[in-house]
Structure formats: structure tokens, C-alpha cells
Chain A
Amino acid sequence: AQTVTQSQPEMSVQEAETVTLSCTYDTSESDYYLFWYKQPPSRQMILVIRQEAYKQQNATENRFSVNFQKAAKSFSLKISDSQLGDAAMYFCAYRSANTGNQFYFGTGTSLTVIP
């Protein structure tokens, strides 16, 4: 089974600053997808960004971008111009490109935004 590791249980960032959350994964597959999810205090899981492994270009969604290093099996999330509403738990997830395959989640990083 694939494993997803988030080595930073907690992070903090000053409002308007930039923070990077780390994620590494272990797989022998060449075709897969990676996701970052956000879970605010409301508990609702929200997709932040998605990356296809076959794409070399890093995905970007407004203030959120990823640094995808396929050879290193690394998938970090960069949040620019941090806002108070970014405070949440962030989960990294992996899914094989094959059908019928489950999602694998990391243990999460709790992000605090300091005003």
C-alpha cells in the first residue's frame, strides 16, 4: 500500500506571509494523482489543489501552489499572502490512476495564522 507522510504536525505563519507545508509519499507507480485538502474548524473537507503526476508543471490555484518533485516523491503546498481564513488542518492525499483504487491520506498539518 502507498504511504503518505506529513512530517509537520503543526505550523504557524504570520498573516500576509508565505508558508510551505510538506508532504512525501511512497509509491512504485508512475501514474497517479495528488491532492491537498483543507479542513477548517467547521470540519468540512475542502479540496485546495490537485496535481497530475504526468504533468511537469506545478498546479496553482490563486494563492495556493504546489512544488511537485516526482523523482523525490515530494508534494509540498505553498500558501502565499496567508489570511486568517487559511487557518485549518491540511491533508495531503494520493490516489493511483488505476480505477477502483482508494485514496491514501497523510496525518495532517495544523496551520495557525497569527494576526
Chain B
Amino acid sequence: NAGVTQTPKFQVLKTGQSMTLQCAQDMNHEYMSWYRQDPGMGLRLIHYSVGAGITDQGEVPNGYNVSRSTTEDFPLRLLSAAPSQTSVYFCASSYDQGGYEQYFGPGTRLTVT
């Protein structure tokens, strides 16, 4: 199993550009999520999904869109990048039951200039 994969690992964008961060998992997990990690702020939830066709907002959803057309994939779209979106982004997945841990991807370091 590859686990949770994310691409790209690094990205530099100019303000106003759009892009999609890719996330895929091969563990048949129902639950998938996107976090951003900023110094001193821990992991903040952007969006999450409990199955194909079902998504919901987390703590910091503004400026981001998601969709879940398959169990495996959960892309995160930045609509119009802003410097405030400079961060490290993590995708994670788990079974949709409380006791199971989340498995994390390796992260994407995004810089918006």
C-alpha cells in the first residue's frame, strides 16, 4: 500500500493564481481531510469528507474548495491564491469510526508571493 500520497511536495504561486493540491489514498478509508499547519497554530482543519459525494467545512474553509468524486481522491483547490495561504498542507485519511487513527500524507509546502 502507498498509504496517503500528496502532490506536489513544494509549490510557489503568485497572488491570484489558482491550483489544485492532489491527495489520494489506497486504504479504502471513508474519512478524508485537509489541514494547514502554521507555526504556533497547530493543525487547522480546512475541509473534510466522510465519503464520496459528501464534504463539509472545517475551521478555515475560506479560499478553498474540495470535492470527493471517488473514495480514493480528495483534491483541494485554491481559487485565487493569497499570501495568507502560505502554509504547509496535509491530507489525511481514516476509517469513519472514532477509534481509528488518521494516516497523513507527506505534506505540501506552498508559498504565495
**Chain A: residues with CB nearer than 8 A to chain B?**
6, 9, 31-33, 35, 43-45, 47, 50, 52, 91, 93, 95-103, 105-108
Contact = CB atoms under 8 A, between A and B. Distances in A.
Interface in B78-107: 88, 90, 92, 96-99, 101-102, 104, 106-107
Contact of B98 (A43, A97, A107): A97
Instruction: Classify the secondary structure of A's interface with B.
Output: loop
Contacts of A52: 99
Contacts of B92: 45, 103
B101 A101 contact: no
A107 B106 contact: no
A53 B102 CA distance: 17
Contacts, number: 55
Given A33-B98, A47-B101, A95-B98, A107 B40 contact: yes
B102 to A, nearest CB: 6
Contacts of B96: 99-100
28 contacts: A31-B98, A32-B98, A33-B98, A35-B101, A43-B107, A44-B107, A45-B90, A45-B92, A45-B104, A50-B99, A50-B101, A52-B99, A95-B98, A97-B97, A97-B98, A98-B98, A99-B96, A99-B97, A99-B98, A102-B45, A102-B58, A103-B33, A103-B45, A103-B92, A105-B35, A106-B42, A107-B42, A108-B42
Nearest to A107: B42
Given A44-B104, A103-B102, 11 more contacts: A31-B98, A43-B88, A44-B106, A45-B92, A91-B42, A99-B98, A102-B48, A103-B33, A105-B43, A107-B40, A107-B42
